[in-house]
């Protein structure tokens, strides 16, 4: 049961952290946000776009992780299964998000000839 609770809390945390990024509320910094390339850390327009998309991904990943964990709470005999599915979905989501955001960063840099 502790697996399910911790996975649920991770999903909630991802959702909470993703919201300000998706709303473009976080200024360029070295601590919080998608800092995936030098262009993201150099140009505000790239920072905000990449973090908006990444924040939306985090919202979706957090929601998915939390919901799968919640099903694990409700179906106690399958709680480890749903916790595992939630963690797999979370890690795959993070990897896909990172790749998509890196692609956006590179395309924006190329289109502006930076």
The stretch 70-94 carries a mean pLDDT of 90
The stretch 39-59 carries a mean pLDDT of 94
The stretch 8-32 carries a mean pLDDT of 95
Average model confidence (pLDDT) across the chain: 92
Instruction: State the pLDDT at residue 97.
Output: 96
pLDDT band at 79 (very low <50, low <70, confident <90, very high): confident
In angstroms, the CA 58 to CA 9 distance is 14
How many C-beta atoms surround the C-beta of residue 69 within 10 A? Answer: 26
% of the chain at pLDDT higher than 90: 71
Instruction: State the pLDDT at residue 113.
Output: 74
Buried b (16+ CB within 10 A) or exposed e, 39-48: bbeebeebbb
Q: Is the pLDDT of residue 105 over 70?
A: yes
In angstroms, the CA 51 to CA 55 distance is 6
pLDDT band at 73 (very low <50, low <70, confident <90, very high): confident
Q: Is 110 in a helix, a strand, or coil?
A: helix
Whether the CA torsion 70, 75, 81, 85 is positive or negative: it is negative
Q: Is the pLDDT of residue 41 over 70?
A: yes
Q: Is the pLDDT of residue 3 over 80?
A: no
Q: Is the pLDDT of residue 91 over 70?
A: yes
């Amino acid at each position: 049961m502790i697996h399910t609770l911790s996975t649920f809390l991770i999903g909630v945390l991802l959702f909470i952290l993703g919201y300000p990024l998706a709303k473009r509320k976080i200024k360029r910094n070295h601590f919080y946000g998608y800092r995936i390339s030098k262009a993201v850390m150099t140009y505000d327009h790239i920072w905000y776009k990449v973090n908006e998309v990444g924040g939306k991904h985090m919202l979706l990943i957090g929601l998915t992780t939390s919901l799968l964990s919640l099903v694990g709470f409700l179906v106690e005999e399958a709680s480890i299964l749903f916790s595992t599915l939630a963690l797999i979905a979370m890690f795959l989501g993070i990897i896909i998000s990172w790749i998509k955001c890196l692609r956006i960063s590179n395309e924006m840099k190329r289109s502006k000839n930076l």
